[in-house]
Amino acid sequence: MKKTPVYLLITLILFSSCSKKNKSFPENFLWGVAVSAFQTEMGNREGTNNDPNSDWWLWTHFNVENNTGRVSKDLPENGPNMYDLYEMDFDNAKSLGLNAFRLSIEWSRIFPDDSGIPVAKEVAHYHQVFQALRERGLKPLVTLHHFTTPLWLHDPLWFIDRANHGNGPKGWLDDRTVHEFVKYAEFCAKEFGEEIDLWATINEPMVVSIGGYLNPLPGNAFPPNELNPEHMVTATINLMKAHAGAYRALKQYDNIDADGDGIASFVGIVQSMTDFAPLDETDEDDKVAAEHASYLLNKWFLNAVARGVLDSNLDGEAEPSPELGPTVDYIGVNYYTRMRVYKLAPIFPDYQFIDFLPSFPEDCENNPCSDMDYMIYPPGLYNVLLIASSYGFPLYITENGIADADDNQRPQFIRDHIAQVLRAINDGMDIRGYFYWSLVDNFEWALGFSKKFGLFSFDPATKVRTMRPSAEVYSEIIGD
């Protein structure tokens, strides 16, 4: 194992003592931005950085080539090319005064097939990326799984193209994926533990399972785009097991304190959290709908991994499950919007809790909304932080951001949401960082490049980044 070079330690100490941070926030508060590998890495002219070995690669290519209408016409290989340009992006992040950066490792780059042999070039690449962050005083928060799974574990077409792919591996429906994910986590802990202390196992597991198996949104399809509640439950429970196994592997095998703060590994889950509210505040049924929505989407997963109780058939009754939890050191909260929901009769007879629909995107007729048609509602961040803090672990806001192509709404969005974070801290919540999504515009999954979340835009031809005015707003808040 290599030791941290002395010059690096000096740089880190200098940076932390020179940087002027907003004094209203705790001393070691992390100010960051978040990106993910699949959404940002690809995009050089020669295509040498393309990674065709993940389920999302095949998913987007198949649907675009066959014009199925499930996804936009955009392809990930036309992205901002962070794989080559990461130093420039990290310089940009540093110039804003940030001290942290959330990113993910692409599992299918390191293990493109089932041989178990890591690709040395890709391992070396991620070492360089992590070193580049640390040299700039940006603490890396590394996610192991941000929506994409290697093709050898998940054929995303097994449902929509059964004739040709029906026998393919079924991703999170298979125990094998759980087992392999834990092996991958062990590898990352041993390989990158000397550079990384702050880990997230899985990004938004409920978006993976609900998006894949219960998603009614046309044009915004997640693989495999099946409507099947049993499969949604199986995938969710496998994601819980995968998280718990990866947590234990990271804790066991990352015992090198990379930045000298006394902590070798601090490991969490990143949960998508929505502020659910009844469509009609006075309607008892709608109130129940909002509770069910919050139970399914905000709490079900956290109950398992942060409290160690599992509701295995989604009926509101949970049993102790020490296998699953507690297996978190912190909870990562991703917050984007408030959603008002209304009550339906249960959609599936065996699942009484799946009995609601959001009034999205109709809510945008009377409320300020983003380019995603997400209602802009800063107090909702406080509300979901209250839920997350009730589990008794430290919190990071691992994502918060807005799709806003003309940058009209983003400045106020950032100010108002950070004000809610401060309110939560002043009310006693243990919040340790805020990561804006995202540094640079990127591939917004099934919606492609049309949704612009970046503090920086990029030119599709030259990949040159241009800072948006809102980036300065964020920078000023950090330095206040």
Query: Measuring CA to CA, which residue among 11, 3, 30 is closest to residue 425?
Result: 30
Taking a C-beta distance cutoff of 8 angstroms, is the pair 314, 296 a contact? yes
Residue 428's region, left for phi above 0, alpha for psi from -120 to 50, else beta, is left
Give the C-alpha separation, 306 to 302, whole Å: 5
201 is a site residue for ligand BGC (CB under 6 A):
no
Tokens (6 digits) for 100 = 């942290």
Question: Binders of ligand BGC among 347-406, rule CB under 6 A?
Answer: 399
The CB-of-374 to ligand BGC minimum distance in angstroms stands at 8
Query: Measuring CA to CA, which residue among 407, 420, 419 is closest to residue 471?
Result: 407
- Catalytic site includes residue 399: yes
The CB-of-82 to ligand BGC minimum distance in angstroms stands at 14
- At 159, is the secondary structure helix, strand, or coil? coil
- Burial degree of 157 (CB within 10 A; 0-12, 13-18, 19+): buried
Q: Which of these ranges, 92-100, 201-209, 286-294, 320-328, lies near ligand BGC under the rule CB under 6 A?
A: 201-209
Phi (first) and psi of residue 413, to 5 degrees: -55, -50
Applying CB under 6 A, among 12, 32, 33, 36 the residue interacting with ligand BGC is 36
- At 246, is the secondary structure helix, strand, or coil? helix
The CB-of-318 to ligand BGC minimum distance in angstroms stands at 25
DSSP result, 32-55: EEE--HHHHS---TT-TT--TTBH
DSSP, res 78? G
The CB-of-447 to ligand BGC minimum distance in angstroms stands at 8
204 is a site residue for ligand BGC (CB under 6 A):
yes
Q: Which of these ranges, 54-62, 132-140, 199-207, 231-239, lies near ligand BGC under the rule CB under 6 A?
A: 199-207
Site mask, ligand BGC, residues 409-448, x = CB under 6 A?
----------------------------x------x----
254 is a site residue for ligand BGC (CB under 6 A):
no
Site mask, ligand BGC, residues 269-298, x = CB under 6 A?
---x--------------------------
Tokens (6 digits) for 265 = 């590994």
334 is a site residue for ligand BGC (CB under 6 A):
yes
Q: Which ranges in 311-452 belong to alpha helices (H)?
A: 379-389, 410-426
72 is a site residue for ligand BGC (CB under 6 A):
no
Cα 120 to chain centroid, rounded: 26
Tokens (6 digits) for 457 = 């835009």
Amino acid at 331: I
Applying CB under 6 A, among 148, 203, 238, 294 the residue interacting with ligand BGC is 203
Q: With respect to ligand BGC, which residue has the nearer C-beta, 90 or 453?
A: 453
Active-site position among 191, 195, 204, 444: 204
Q: Which of these ranges, 88-96, 110-118, 188-196, 200-208, lies near ligand BGC under the rule CB under 6 A?
A: 200-208
The CB-of-372 to ligand BGC minimum distance in angstroms stands at 7
The CB-of-340 to ligand BGC minimum distance in angstroms stands at 19
Q: With respect to ligand BGC, which residue has the nearer C-beta, 12 or 142?
A: 142
Q: With respect to ligand BGC, which residue has the nearer C-beta, 93 or 425?
A: 93
The CB-of-66 to ligand BGC minimum distance in angstroms stands at 24
Q: Which helix (H) or strand (E) holds 356?
A: strand 356-358
Give the C-alpha separation, 358 to 373, whole Å: 12
Pairing relationship of beta strands 456-458 and 100-104 according to DSSP bridges: unpaired
Residue with tokens 């062990």: 186
Taking a C-beta distance cutoff of 8 angstroms, is the pair 404, 359 a contact? no
Size of the site for ligand BGC (CB under 6 A): 11
- Catalytic site includes residue 291: no
Q: With respect to ligand BGC, which residue has the nearer C-beta, 5 or 219?
A: 219
Active-site position among 122, 186, 399, 444: 399
Residues carrying an active site annotation: 204, 399
Which stretches of the chain bind ligand BGC, using CB under 6 A? 36, 39, 203-204, 207, 272, 334, 399, 437, 444, 453
